[in-house]
Structure 1
């Protein structure tokens, strides 16, 4: 396991580094393989932000939390990632027809014994829409997303005829997903 702890606008003390690494051990118990974990600690206007990024064999997990206490932010971010791991593992186990068993074996998720109260319901599709994917440039797609007051917009990129997605990021900027 490779853990990198970085700090911005805060002094990275041994106590904070040790606390981060100790809490991250909760995530490491789910995996047998090598994993890269990046912890970014930041302070902005009295808010302590903990960002934890985990990379295990191509599976990426992200937990970002803010609070008035750095230790609490670290705890909440680790909890968020732990919930993601449990949810992902339960999805893999609950599927009856797993097409790619090799990828599941590559992850080598360790056994996690949980109570029924932690069981996660499968999401159900509530609505299905079909939209014409008219060719447009990125700027027009962003404008359409803003006009419809949505957080994302699917469109066919006029430059390469591929289906793309523009979306609003948490920081207020716009991102694009391209195949």
Structure 2
């Protein structure tokens, strides 16, 4: 981790600098990519203040502590930062697992909608089991569920169809062209 230590109202000390760098090197195990840490150590009257800003790996984490002892302030702020990093990493893992399991919200596409070429959105593929049934039965199944659409094999034509809820309260049927 690239670290810069700044001293305000305090004589620069190699001991404090090396202490901060040693502690921050332990954070590399939490971060996948290189990060940058900006540390400001200052003294105001009897208060010792440690401020840390860590930027990198899609994270921007800040922490600040005031105590009577500089080493204690550094340890306390690093504990806070560790909790913040773990929490952020957990959120990222949960978002990725939600995407992989197909829990993404279904899109409502209106008739005549043409997506922009440069929209930057992701296409998330999911697999769906579909059963043979009539379109009327598909509407009844849709009423029983909270879903916005149902994919099924039309028992009359033996082709895949989609029944969906429209914004006006009616139902739409999507059939392939012959």
Structure-2 residue corresponding to 1:89: 89
2:42 maps to 1:45 = no
Deviation by residue 1:86-137 (Cα, 9 ceiling, x = unmatched)? 11122222344247xx9xxxxxxxxxxxxxxxxxxxxxxxxxxxxxxxxxxx
Please state whether the residue corresponding to 2:31 is helix, strand or coil: coil
Measure, in 2, the Cα distance between the counterparts of 1:31 and 1:88: 11
Measure, in 1, the Cα distance between the counterparts of 2:59 and 2:2: 15
Count of matched residue pairs: 101
Unaligned runs of 5+ in 1: 103-179
Unaligned runs of 5+ in 2: 105-121, 123-178
Structure-1 residue corresponding to 2:160: none
1:56-71 alignment runs, 5 A limit: 56-71=56-71
Measure, in 1, the Cα distance between the counterparts of 2:59 and 2:6: 22
Measure, in 2, the Cα distance between the counterparts of 1:65 and 1:27: 18
C-alpha displacement at 1:29, in angstroms? 1.7
User: CA contact under 8 A between 1:46 and 1:68: conserved in structure 2?
Assistant: yes
Runs (4 or more) in structure 1 with deviation over 3 Å come to none
C-alpha displacement at 1:3, in angstroms? 0.5
User: CA contact under 8 A between 1:27 and 1:78: conserved in structure 2?
Assistant: no
The higher radius of gyration belongs to 2
Measure, in 1, the Cα distance between the counterparts of 2:50 and 2:86: 21
C-alpha displacement at 1:58, in angstroms? 4.1
User: CA contact under 8 A between 2:31 and 2:57: conserved in structure 1?
Assistant: no
User: CA contact under 8 A between 1:27 and 1:81: conserved in structure 2?
Assistant: no
Please state whether the residue corresponding to 1:97 is helix, strand or coil: helix
